[in-house]
A and B are shown apart, each in its own frame.
Chain A
Amino acid sequence: GAVVSQHPSWVICKSGTSVKIECRSLDFQATTMFWYRQFPKQSLMLMATSNEGSKATYEQGVEKDKFLINHASLTLSTLTVTSAHPEDSSFYICSARLAGGWDTGELFFGEGSRLTVL
């Protein structure tokens, strides 16, 4: 149980285009999803916290107009990288927390999406 799926796993795009990454909780409802960015050989950097039905909360230094997050349902959150540039190339990982119950903070992670901007 508690499976999170991301799509696409790999995406290559031209500079200036926008890319959408989907994050789905397949067998549970997730009121809260988190989007992380990971540079090579580094830890995960939290970009934003996405709550279903409300605006995402962005971490300091993350451009909300560049990284658009939508969490329209309890099973789907999307991250759109707008007007992508080569410096946006990275590994993006989403995670979700089970809705309700005793919250220990455990997160379930998607497989990650590797974005390469040419």
Chain B
Amino acid sequence: AQSVTQLGSHVSVSEGALVLLRCNYSSSVPPYLFWYVQYPNQGLQLLLKYTSAATLVKGINDFEAEFKKSETSFHLTKPSAHMSDAAEYFCAVSDTKDGNNRLAFGKGNQVVVIP
């Protein structure tokens, strides 16, 4: 089964500083990878996705992620953090079980932006 690992449940970043959230995947097939953001008491919103096209993927709100096969990584970055970026971020990989295609989520990173 495919899986993703996100280390460090809480990430603190100063306003204006680089945001870096790490995600490593495990997959026996070429993966489809996703980053989602969740604001309090809301569902998940897609930030960006990798579907075997360009390895550098640009998403909404100036987020981007780079797929590195050699490192089995799909780290999320944003050059300059805003207060509005405070949220929970989940990395996910497509997985198939019992013939059903689904997403396997990481444990998430709670991002705190310090003024």
Contacts of A109 in B (CB 8 A): 36, 43-45
For this complex, into which size category does the number of interface residues on chain A fall?
20 to 34
- Is there an interface contact between B98 and A41, defined as CB atoms closer than 8 Å? no
Q: Once the chains are docked, how many angstroms separate the CA of A114 from the CA of B42?
A: 9
Q: Does B49 contact A111, Cβ atoms closer than 8 Å?
A: no
Q: Which residues 28-52 in B have Cβ within 8 Å of A in the complex?
A: 32, 34, 36, 41-46, 49, 51
Residues in A73-112 with C-beta less than 8 Å from chain B: 91, 93, 95, 97, 103-112
Q: Does B57 contact A (CB under 8 A)?
A: no
B51 touching A104, Cβ below 8 Å: yes
Interface residues on B, range: 20 to 34
Interface string of B87-100 (1 = CB under 8 A from A): 00010001100101
A42 touches B41 (CB 8 A): no
B contacts with A: majority SS: strand
Is the Cβ of A34 less than 8 Å from the Cβ of B51?
A: no
Name the residue in A43, A49, A91 with the highest tally of chain B Cβ atoms < 10 Å from its Cβ.
Answer: A43
Q: How distant is A94 from chain B, measured CB to nearest CB, in Å? A: 8
Interchain Cβ contacts under 8 Å between A and B, 26 examples: A6-B43, A32-B101, A34-B102, A41-B9, A41-B110, A42-B107, A42-B108, A43-B90, A43-B105, A43-B106, A44-B105, A57-B98, A57-B100, A91-B41, A93-B43, A93-B44, A95-B43, A105-B95, A106-B46, A106-B49, A109-B36, A109-B43, A110-B43, A111-B43, A112-B41, A114-B41
